[in-house]
Amino acid sequence: MILNRRHFIGALAVSAAGLSTPLARAMPRPGEASPLLDQARAALVTHGSRIRSRDRVGLVDFSVHSREPRFRIVDLGNGRILADYLVAHGRGSDPANTGFLQKFSNRPGSNASSQGSFLVADTYYGKHGRSRRLQGLDPENDLAFERAIVIHGANYVSSNMARSSGRVGRSQGCFAVSQSDLNEVLALLDPGTLLVSAK
């Protein structure tokens, strides 16, 4: 099984009959809908056939501190969170290294994270090992491919670092996840999938 149970979040409450709830936590109910999930669904309409894989989506909520899991993989069919991960933001987005993203940028050389909708593209092997390219689909991230903004593993992202330092490290604008999580993330977000980031 791809999913590692340490990534499932939410309480696994036990009912009066002694049956446990499903291992994935539901997204907020209608009326409490996640703005990011709504944004992702709108992006599926806007970008049409460019998004070939429509069963799940990656959502990165950069309003959350970097010590907390803020990269969620969501099943679009039922709105349930399948897994969530720690993820770095760009050093240009947080010059003081507070753990909070302060600003986005699409400018080459900014070392900042970008917001908007991304198409998950092909896998390649570069200086960070196995990585997956991203194509920015919106005006605020349309230089992502040129800037080499990708999903990759990094030793500066880990639960141990989040606990000991109170934050994870910063990337050069990439969606850097723990090396131990990378294979799982890439298995869930295959080429043709949508990734959305916002604050």
pLDDT tens-digit series, residues 148-167: 999 999 999 999 999 999 99
Domains along the chain with CATH numbers:
26-198 (2.40.440.10)
Whole-structure pTM value: 0.85
What pLDDT, on the 0 to 100 scale, is given for residue 35? 85
Helix residue ranges per DSSP H, the chain: 35-47, 159-165, 179-188
Question: Which DSSP state fits 91?
Answer: G
Q: Pick left, alpha or beta for residue 93 (phi over 0 → left; psi -120 to 50 → alpha; otherwise beta).
A: alpha
- pLDDT of 9 higher than 50: no
pLDDT tens-digit series, residues 38-79: 999 999 999 988 999 999 999 999 999 999 999 999 999 888
What pLDDT, on the 0 to 100 scale, is given for residue 77? 87
